[in-house]
Structure 1
Amino acid sequence: MALRQTHIDRIRDGSFDTLIIGGGINGAVTAASLAGRGASVALVDRGDFGHFTSQASSNLVWGGFKYLENYELWLVFKLCQSRNRLMRAYRANIKEIGFYAALQDKPYKPWFAALGAFGYWAIGQFGTKPPRYLSTEKIEKEEPAITTDDVAGGIEYRDGILIDNDARFVFSFVRSAIEAGAAAANYIELVSAERDGDRWIAQLRDVDTGEEFQTSARTIVNAAGPFVDENNNSWGLETEHRIVYSKGIHLVVPRLTTNRHDKVLAFYDDDERLFYVIPMGARSVIGTTDTRVDTPYTEVTDEDIDFLLAQINARMDLDAPLTRADIIADRCGVRPLVVKTEGGDQHDVDWTKLSRKHAVETDHRQRVVTIFGGKLTDCLNVGEEVAAEIESLGVPLEKDLHNWYGEPAKATKKEFFRQARLMKLDRVRSKPELEPLSDRLWRRYGRRAFAMLDAIREEPAMAEDIMGSADYIRIELHEAARSEMVTKLEDFMRRRSKIELVVRDEDINTSAGLREVAEILFGDADADRRLAEYFGGDDRVPAAVKAGPRPTEATKSAGDTLVSPR
């Protein structure tokens, strides 16, 4: 909480080049791009960073193979270009993965889909391994979990996948922006913004405490995702684009695939739309759906669940059909899709032809840049395009050295793994099915992981799992408390980690370690309040959690050795 308060103090009565409204992927990457090029930046979000659309993605970094259906070749090229750059820049966080599609004779014959896959590979400048055509016999041999009764053949093409969750990837750009000098704070709501001479005066409110304060900026970036139109309307801006909404859901279930190598299984549903079975460690993620809605506020319905369960049960040869009892968690969100304002109301849109393209629009008189639509894969393009628009509004930027994104240099990584090897870090855990601890710490924390090694050397208990099935060690909690602006327990459980996505509710509710998690994150004085907030009332906090152990003096002392962030 100290980090957040420090940044609120910087934003209060501050004077910035740019105020960014919205801390999803668009806002986070814009903050990193502008701050990395020398602009003074303030980033705020009325919820947590990455808490709305950006936490409901498929965790995929992909070029949009399905957009070839509508001949959106330029969009596919741009997405593949960004995908390739992300995969090169985040080698520990994004891995190449096969998309394994079992096909009937409709909507496309397998041989025709294979031609499309090779075309996709070429448009992507051969940035992945080449695609493959799959016979029915090969599918049966390589992935026997797929039902092949009506399958005529298939294809395998390649894209990328985030190893951790999408919201954590969003926060990595927030961290990059902070390290470059930006001020950023979650749970800060924009109450109003008005032009005063050549500046914007913004009235902000701390959602957590109710405090209101002001800040000023020469320019505003409206990166509010599904809410950009709402902001623009309040400022009296007329735009060429607007947003419409498509709801998508995912279901998280126990691992369905039997192959040793992770693959994304792709199927056409009964409406001839693609859906996927996506690996997430010991879990599989089924989705996504595509439902037209009139509001950005959505939830998973019984109809959504029944549809996905029916689709997957018809296409996979499982030991027993999936039921609601198998669902560990669900994800639900809206895609903010871009259409022309002149297109009438939302119901005039040809829904089936909308893609996840983005549009950046600038009002030079009001000095507002609006980001419409977009997706995680396209984030680097968005960051660069918005920086160019801000520069056109008179904010001088330094030359783009492309150092505002990506992981640390190879030499830094090599030194970390040398130190981890010398201290035999990967021998401290007795769970052979888990990835090596050194790999995980490097992927999640980069340079910050060096201080975590020091803390583990001082106190070996810092390498112990706190919640058992959650697979999060004690030092990671101390690091989250110090540098990841965790304000509510949900921020950690759902976004900085993916615990809520892979651990059943009943296991969370009976985890004695959750009490220690809360105390590390929020301190003794605030732990009870945050637990009550998380469970919906003090009387609803499970007894096992209330009675859980507290941090020891030894682990507190070791946690204090971490280097304080900006």
Structure 2
Amino acid sequence: MSELRTQCIEHAKRDIQDCLVIGAGINGAVAAAALAGKGAKVTVIDKADFASFTSQESSNLAWGGIKYLENYEFPLVWGLCKSRNQLMDAYPGQVREIRFFTSIAKGFRKPRVLIYLGALLYWFMGRCRTRPPRLLSVARIRKEAPRVNTAPLAGGLEYSDCYFVENDTRFAFSFIRKVLQKGCNAINYMELVSGEWKNGHWECALRDPISGEAFSLRAKTLVNAAGPYTDRINAMLRIDSPFKHIFSKGAHIIVRQITKTNHVLTFFASDGRLFFMIPMGNRTCIGTTDTRVDNEVAEPSNDDVEFLLQNANTLLKLDQPLTKNDVIAQRCGVRPLVVKKEANVGNSEWTALSRKHEIDVHPERHLCSIYGGKLTDCINVGEEVTEIIESFGVHMFQSLESWYGEPSIQKRNRFESECRKHQLDGEQIDRLWRRYGKEAFQCLEKIRFSPALAEKTMGGLLRAELHLMAEREMVVCLDDLLRRRTRLALTEHRASLRCDPGLAEAAKILFGKNAEAEIERYFGQPLRS
């Protein structure tokens, strides 16, 4: 078991916290990082792993919401574009511009030139930070995107937005790392059992499903950032909110690399919605669906997979049609969409709902709840939460160092210089800096004392990375490693992972004497020597 996790539990039990944040997806992670960065004593918990629910099922895009222009939500798009630009500035290694290659079919509901003018407006609303859009003829699409089936097309356009170079979960974990670096507590696999506002603070009962231990935690304030479970937590705490969530299921499939061009291929699917084919290293992520569901937990159905495959085969010119056998992995989650509590949203209305966020504030009980939201707008969520918690009487201070963002370019240059001494190549340098920030220096320290730790193991990871994860990232099970600390479970066939010669060593570093048992639990069969 992670020594760091044990320390966080002990610290959380011992001291009354300025704030307890429930939920460690992107909303909870940024709320906790913002509070910790401004001097508050914070504990953030999640009943599963960090960013293991909605925050691990996104399309990996940081975008300004171009589709909301169709519903004339100009203030929302203006704000999201500003937030996207902020992420580009603060995270140059993790959030980068990418071109979207959009095809428009003959007879589409909007003229091609009007869509281009919308993209031009979008570029201006984005403060012209990206490359400008281009109107594309069918001939140009044939030349620049030969995999696209141009037979039904009137033309297309090209515009820019951003994507996460690693993945959504790795980005969310960077905020958990900020919490820990400030001496605060982040605890995965910790469930809130009950909470009571009593004598001016919250008395919370927590349960550790790993050890079975139950204990109490006291906090002056509470932030409900439980994502799709926000309503359930509020019901437990007897909080009456003016908002509620409705759920939209989004499914993606990952297949072999469809095209080597670094574009997001964008279409309008058979049901009229935007449909993406997103580069993911040597793979392609295809999605997404948009299905209304009633429950927080969603799985991709056979119909979802068939819809994605059928549209991909129709929209592309492939040597062989994609089949279920080509699906390497699936990802599926619910989008929690915020509406007024009394709203009765019809089936024709809910698809037009945006991913805006609302924060419900209860000053009399020192509690706020975050509803809705998306990755792109996360910094604003963190800033808003700190203002609210400060209004409850928690003392804050303005740090000279920002609570978000990558370390300075000077530190990045020093890191690169040190890496060259250990013969690390450019790809390894970029990856280490993206994933670990200034903690990447700890990888170099390990390599300096033991050069063998610079050797590659499972999935191309350096041994030093695995040791750093074991010490600093609270990897409790193989799913944490393969699905969230890396994206190997998305890009590699399960059978390939099972046969990877570095699997046993990686499990030994992370789980010690429990390594074989964890491999058997994850793959359902013992490791054969």
**TM-score normalized by the length of structure 1:** 0.91
Give the match for residue 432 of structure 1: none
* Aligned AA (1:487): V
Q: Rate the CA distance shift 1:213–1:322 in 2: closer, same or farther, 3 A.
A: same
Give the match for residue 84 of structure 2: 83
Q: Show the 5 A alignment for 1:513-524.
A: 513-523=502-512
1:444 is matched with which residue: 435, 440, 461? Answer: 435
- Report if the CA contact (8 A) 2:329-2:493 is conserved: yes
Give the match for residue 217 of structure 1: 219
Give the match for residue 465 of structure 2: 476
SS of the residue 1:202 aligns to: strand
2:499 is matched with which residue: 510, 514, 519? Answer: 510
Report how far residue 460 of structure 1 moved.
Answer: 3.2
* Aligned AA (1:441): L
Distance 1:542 1:354 in 2: 48
SS of the residue 1:220 aligns to: strand
Give the match for residue 384 of structure 1: 383
Distance 1:352 1:491 in 2: 32
1:498 is matched with which residue: 469, 476, 487? Answer: 487
- Report if the CA contact (8 A) 2:519-2:527 is conserved: no
- Report if the CA contact (8 A) 2:116-2:135 is conserved: yes
1:153 is matched with which residue: 152, 155, 159? Answer: 155
- Report if the CA contact (8 A) 1:22-1:222 is conserved: yes
Distance 1:71 1:541 in 2: 56
SS of the residue 1:74 aligns to: helix
SS of the residue 2:127 aligns to: coil
SS of the residue 2:467 aligns to: helix
SS of the residue 1:437 aligns to: helix
Give the match for residue 403 of structure 1: 402
Gaps of 5+ in 2: none
Q: Does 1:370 align with 2:358?
A: no
Give the match for residue 113 of structure 2: 111
Distance 1:309 1:371 in 2: 35
Report how far residue 445 of structure 1 moved.
Answer: 1.5
Q: Does 1:528 align with 2:528?
A: no
Write out per-residue CA displacement over residues 208-227 of structure 1, whole angstroms, 9 at most, x where no aligned residue.
Answer: 11100011011110000000
Write out per-residue CA displacement over residues 285-306 of structure 1, whole angstroms, 9 at most, x where no aligned residue.
Answer: 0001100000011111110010
Q: Show the 5 A alignment for 1:75-474.
A: 75-104=76-105, 105-259=107-261, 262-344=262-344, 350-399=349-398, 403-426=402-425, 436-467=427-458, 470-474=459-463
Distance 1:401 1:116 in 2: 40
SS of the residue 2:481 aligns to: helix
Report how far residue 107 of structure 1 moved.
Answer: 2.5
SS of the residue 2:460 aligns to: coil
Distance 1:403 1:168 in 2: 19
Distance 1:258 1:14 in 2: 53
- Report if the CA contact (8 A) 2:442-2:468 is conserved: no
Report how far residue 269 of structure 1 moved.
Answer: 0.6
Report how far residue 400 of structure 1 moved.
Answer: 6.2
* Aligned AA (2:172): V
Q: Show the 5 A alignment for 1:532-543.
A: 532-536=520-524, 540-543=525-528
SS of the residue 1:152 aligns to: strand
Distance 2:418 2:527 in 1: 40
SS of the residue 2:364 aligns to: coil
Report how far residue 235 of structure 1 moved.
Answer: 1.5
Q: How many residues align?
A: 527
Q: Does 1:5 align with 2:6?
A: yes
Distance 2:74 2:180 in 1: 36
- Report if the CA contact (8 A) 1:32-1:174 is conserved: yes
* Aligned AA (2:140): K
Distance 2:447 2:147 in 1: 42
Q: Rate the CA distance shift 1:401–1:450 in 2: closer, same or farther, 3 A.
A: closer
* Aligned AA (1:530): E
Report how far residue 399 of structure 1 moved.
Answer: 2.4
Q: Rate the CA distance shift 1:479–1:398 in 2: closer, same or farther, 3 A.
A: same
Distance 2:451 2:148 in 1: 45
Report how far residue 421 of structure 1 moved.
Answer: 2.3
Report how far residue 532 of structure 1 moved.
Answer: 3.1
**TM-score normalized by the length of structure 2:** 0.97
1:485 is matched with which residue: 474, 477, 480? Answer: 474
Report how far residue 512 of structure 1 moved.
Answer: 3.1
Distance 1:471 1:512 in 2: 11
Report how far residue 416 of structure 1 moved.
Answer: 1.0
Report how far residue 401 of structure 1 moved.
Answer: 5.2
Please report the RMSD computed on the Cα atoms of aligned residues, expressed in angstroms: 1.4
- Report if the CA contact (8 A) 2:24-2:226 is conserved: yes
Distance 1:350 1:6 in 2: 48
Report how far residue 439 of structure 1 moved.
Answer: 1.4
Report how far residue 351 of structure 1 moved.
Answer: 1.2
SS of the residue 2:258 aligns to: coil
Give the match for residue 33 of structure 2: 32
Report how far residue 185 of structure 1 moved.
Answer: 0.4
- Report if the CA contact (8 A) 2:498-2:523 is conserved: no
Q: Rate the CA distance shift 1:401–1:288 in 2: closer, same or farther, 3 A.
A: farther
Distance 2:182 2:475 in 1: 20
- Report if the CA contact (8 A) 2:64-2:126 is conserved: yes
SS of the residue 1:454 aligns to: helix
Distance 2:387 2:183 in 1: 19
Distance 1:343 1:349 in 2: 14
Report how far residue 42 of structure 1 moved.
Answer: 0.7
- Report if the CA contact (8 A) 1:245-1:292 is conserved: yes
- Report if the CA contact (8 A) 1:43-1:185 is conserved: yes
- Report if the CA contact (8 A) 1:442-1:449 is conserved: yes
Distance 1:245 1:391 in 2: 31
Q: Rate the CA distance shift 1:448–1:383 in 2: closer, same or farther, 3 A.
A: same
- Report if the CA contact (8 A) 1:177-1:404 is conserved: no
- Report if the CA contact (8 A) 1:63-1:83 is conserved: yes
Distance 2:221 2:146 in 1: 56
- Report if the CA contact (8 A) 2:516-2:526 is conserved: no
Distance 2:117 2:399 in 1: 38
Distance 2:235 2:332 in 1: 26
Report how far residue 459 of structure 1 moved.
Answer: 3.1
Report how far residue 417 of structure 1 moved.
Answer: 1.1
